[in-house]
Amino acid sequence: MSAAAPRPAALAPGATLGVLGGGQLGRLFVQAAQRLGYRTVVFDPDPASPAGGVAHLHLAASFDDPQALDRMATLCDAVTLEFENVPAAAVERLAARRPVSPAASALAICQDRLLEKRHFAACGVPCAPHAAIEREADLAAVPDALLPGILKTARLGYDGKGQRSVPDRAALEQAWRALGAVPCVLEQRLPLAAEASVVVARGADGAMVHLPVMLNRHHEGILARTEVPAEPALGADLCAQAVAAAERVAASLDYVGVLCVEFFWLADGRLVANEMAPRPHNSGHFSVDACDSSQFDLQVRVLAGLPLAAPRLLASAVMLNLLGDLWFVPGSVKPGPREPDWAAALALPGVVLQLYGKAEPRPGRKMGHLTVTGDSLSQARAVAAEAASRLGLSVDG
């Protein structure tokens, strides 16, 4: 492994910040960087990537293209990433010449659910009872207490992909083979009361700040809605536990960047970690409109070496995920997508629409989000419900 390039002093506006990955998270990072006066470069193989369309420069090349990676290092003063499945070799090649955050060592743990579970245990953060299934012999060794459970591929699973619900041993073996007989994690199915997440930002100097704790609801493995503040539902003590756990995870990784840790709140009152993402997170999108510093502003500050100020929540908020399904009317006599009635939703007070610049809507594809702010959470919920009704969007996803 190559030695990491030294981290310089704070980068002044006019410097160039790069991002590996050109999706919506990269797009929102680029926009935040440009507001602070930085030039931006996006590295993504898709010539029509959402982030590439708004950056100063888009390098449309494969992540394993050494010449393109070297050009990225020449162009940029520092580099971050917008999704966790960037090849480690690409990160290491860039890190030999330019500061990259997060580091490849932290990324490797976040890319593998088995390593992730072990890391949670090592830093004293509880997670769901689980077992590793790396070969066929491991199937018979699974404790009875883990069934019924959820089988997840150790790598490359997100938004409900690479997962199977398994009620018994017969279903477990079938699911493992259906997933390709690759290394997996079997997690015990737990009685959930709610799901929550914490986004923390940690600088190279170890300073940490966090967004308000978020209360989340998923539908078919994809985030459907986020509410803040979470204290009315979870209580102040549980929220403090979640923040402390997320900060402990970040510190134990010697993490530099923005990190999201997702939690399950169980029916018996316990809080357990689910998984983590080494980047801004879908649940943190509300911060763009409801906080004085968004998760993307924090990502820019960390990368540029600027001071981290604790974000302040300026209004209660409800964020609704907008998937490509919304463009298709069930039972419509006209096949194909149609543009949702944005004007009807935007006529409501406190509604902000963020579309990601993706030309083709597809079921399950994240096309944008709607954030509703209000003087109270009940007010934001009411307006969000009306906006969803006008769009034909289920408030539960």
Number of domains in the chain: 3
Residue 243 shares a structural domain with residue 312: yes
For residue 18, the 8-state DSSP code is: E
- Kindly report the average pLDDT of the chain as a whole number: 93
Phi/psi for 240 (5° steps) reads -65, -40
Look at residue 118 and tell me if it is in a domain.
Answer: no
In sequence order, the 6+-apart residues with CB closer than 8 A to the CB of 7 are 99, 204, 305
Q: What is the pLDDT of residue 7?
A: 55
Q: What is the pLDDT of residue 28?
A: 98
Q: What is the pLDDT of residue 375?
A: 97
SS3 78: strand
Per-residue pLDDT of 162-197, as tens digits, reads: 789 899 988 999 999 999 889 999 999 999 999 999
Which H helix or E strand runs over 92? helix 88-95
Residue 160 shares a structural domain with residue 230: no
Q: What is the pLDDT of residue 395?
A: 67
At which of 188, 205, 226 does a domain end? 188
Q: Are strands 57-59 and 39-43 parallel, antiparallel or unpaired?
A: parallel
Q: In whole angstroms, give the CA distance from residue 86 to residue 106.
A: 12
Residue 234 shares a structural domain with residue 361: yes
Angle at 240 between CA 236 and CA 241, to 5 degrees: 120
Closest by Cα among 264, 280, 284, 286 to 384: 286
Q: In whole angstroms, give the CA distance from residue 79 to residue 40.
A: 10
Look at residue 124 and tell me if it is in a domain.
Answer: no
Say how many CA atoms lie within 13 Å of 167 toward its Cβ. Answer: 0
DSSP readout, 213-278?
PEEEEEETTEEEEEEE--HHHH-HHHHHHHHHHHHHHHHHTT--EEEEEEEEEETTS-EEEEEEES
Residue 201 shares a structural domain with residue 53: no
Residue 348 shares a structural domain with residue 248: yes
At which of 144, 164, 188 does a domain end? 188
Look at residue 304 and tell me if it is in a domain.
Answer: yes
Closest by Cα among 277, 303, 291, 299 to 352: 291
At which of 57, 82, 100 does a domain end? 100
Q: Which domain holds residue 81?
A: 16-100
Q: What is the pLDDT of residue 287?
A: 98
Can you list the residues of the chain whose pLDDT is less than 50? 1-2, 397
Residue 176 shares a structural domain with residue 265: no
Q: Give me the CATH number covering residue 39.
A: 3.40.50.20
Say how many CA atoms lie within 13 Å of 304 toward its Cβ. Answer: 26
Q: In whole angstroms, give the CA distance from residue 101 to residue 88.
A: 12
In sequence order, the 6+-apart residues with CB closer than 8 A to the CB of 242 are 196, 198, 213, 234, 261, 263, 271
Q: Give me the CATH number covering residue 313.
A: 3.30.470.20
Residue 60 shares a structural domain with residue 163: no
Residue 66 shares a structural domain with residue 142: no
Residue 289 shares a structural domain with residue 340: yes
Tally of residues, the chain: 397
Tokens of 347: 């006529």
Look at residue 231 and tell me if it is in a domain.
Answer: yes
Question: Which residue type sits at 158?
Answer: Y
Q: What is the pLDDT of residue 4?
A: 56
**Is the pTM higher than 0.85?**
yes
Say how many CA atoms lie within 13 Å of 94 toward its Cβ. Answer: 31
Question: Which residue type sits at 23?
Answer: G
Look at residue 200 and tell me if it is in a domain.
Answer: yes
Residue 45 shares a structural domain with residue 162: no
Look at residue 122 and tell me if it is in a domain.
Answer: no
Look at residue 298 and tell me if it is in a domain.
Answer: yes
Q: What is the pLDDT of residue 1?
A: 45
Residue 266 shares a structural domain with residue 141: no
Residue 374 shares a structural domain with residue 225: yes
Q: Give me the CATH number covering residue 179.
A: 3.30.1490.20
Look at residue 106 and tell me if it is in a domain.
Answer: no
The count of other CB atoms within 10 Å of the CB of residue 127 is 18
Q: What is the pLDDT of residue 298?
A: 98
Q: How far apart are the first and last CA of the chain?
A: 43
Contact (Cβ atoms closer than 8 angstroms) between residue 258 and residue 107: no
